Structure 1
């Protein structure tokens, strides 16, 4: 009799999980964490308690990656509901990510829209860095716009923190050269502190904003954004370990329209 009761309770628990349309993932403290929403297969190993708006209701989610993600099963990634990938290509004027070319090919083969990003250093000119990016990133039909990653670096070889006018001048040079080459003006990825320190809101660009502790409207008041990086501890089937997760600002229909107007030709 006790065995029958336990069996019935177990079946009820399974039914509850299935009816919620959610898949459990690893979680902090040994418990399961449910993201749910429109991307039930995505999770977070260290989830934030969202108070003024959360990312899980967004219909379109993507990843950004670098060499540290290792081998990726792109078919699983796509099947989990990932709609785009930004891949680290270069930084400064002399470093390229050793996994970029492989990720670029594999994501393309899996039919995941992907774009390349450049980690900007402040010890090289914008023109030098643009030339290095162009040397390493193919100009390819169907690619997402390139991205310039603007944040304060922790590099011992480049500890410079130039004033805002220099930051924006060199970033604009990079964006003009790269934009002309690829036929797409680069997006700007940035962090809360860097955005404030350099008044980046005055720059003409679409923004990809990092905000892992609150909604972008709270951290970047008045700033419109296209992509929101909401966690660095995301869980995606097909990727071992944590990965950055991002939400697109609009609906699935908005995403389809955005792709139509932004994919490289």
Structure 2
């Protein structure tokens, strides 16, 4: 079954070591933050499912996020400890949580939130934010060493976008090199976890690097002002990140919200085919 795809993820490169090799004293760790909860009823937004809100809503034309039956979130340390039973009761079915970045960064939110999400019945996956001043092989090794296999979890995610806010690496390799390094990362993780990673990206990175030319890639696409079909014409996607300012019961502050491309029945079929063995 070929399913349409979409996704995006904002990640900040703060705290990474400088470019290049050499001995690293240990992983860079950051503290969990605890933002105040926002009330969904104060942030209702046309086009979104009523159980969620948006702190910065806009008008949706055509197919809206509410068209889709299965929704989830992606989060990092900025959301703090999430109340997963409350989020699950509101309709959160899946969550991708930031686990690693580059070759020396660990996000503490994954270790804190992943077990609680699983216990609440939310399907969990880990994502890695790519850093262009480290090799794909080094980054794959870093991720594998810090994210244990867990049967039933979602496939891992490669979050790859231009690092325009990085204080240490704003390198923009040529498209051919980007695609080659992506294949190295995806192949290594697939070999380890037994399922091919999903790729999250945004419109600019997708276009700049010709990602539509990569066969066998399942996409999670970011598109926060229009349906993915408008930003990625002709592309197939499985997940759509439709806002970065979502409001969800049980989650402090704002959070990225995502929709799965199919029905609940196709969601279950997708899990059967793509979850970690």
Q: TM-score range by the shorter chain?
A: 0.7 to 0.9
CA shift for structure 1 position 108? 1.2
- CA distance in 1 between counterparts of 2:77 and 2:123 reads 19
Q: How many residues align?
A: 237
Going from structure 1 to structure 2, the CA distance change for 1:93 and 1:24 (only over 3 Å counts) comes to closer
Give a deviation string over 1:142-165, Cα, whole Å, max 9, x none: 110000001001212111000001
Residue of structure 1 equivalent to 2:231: 219
Q: Match for residue 52 of structure 1?
A: 62
* Aligned partner of residue 56 in structure 1, secondary structure: helix
Give the match's secondary structure for 2:67. Answer: coil
Q: Is the 8 A contact 1:48 1:212 kept in 2?
A: no
Cα distance change of structure 1 residues 25 and 107 upon mapping to structure 2, 3 Å threshold: same
Corresponding residue for 1:193?
Answer: 204
Is the Cα–Cα contact under 8 Å of residues 35 and 42 in structure 1 kept in the other structure? no
User: Partners of 1:131 and 1:183 in 2: how far apart?
Assistant: 15
Aligned-residue RMSD, C-alpha: 1.4
Unaligned stretches of 5+ residues in structure 2: 1-38
Alignment TM-score, normalising by the size of structure 2: 0.83
Match of 1:42 among 37, 52, 61: 52
Is residue 139 from structure 1 mapped to residue 149 from structure 2 by the alignment? yes
Distance 1:62 1:230 in 2: 11
- Provide the TM-score with structure 1 as the length reference: 0.87
Task: Give the aligned partner of residue 116 of structure 2.
Answer: 106
User: Where in structure 1 are there 5+ consecutive unaligned residues?
Assistant: 1-22, 28-32
Report the Cα distance in structure 1 between the residues aligned to 2:109 and 2:98, rounded to whole angstroms.
Answer: 9
* Distance in 1 between residues matched to 2:264 and 2:46, nearest whole Å: 18
In structure 2, the partner of 1:91 is 101
Structure number with the higher helix fraction is 1
Distance 1:57 1:226 in 2: 14
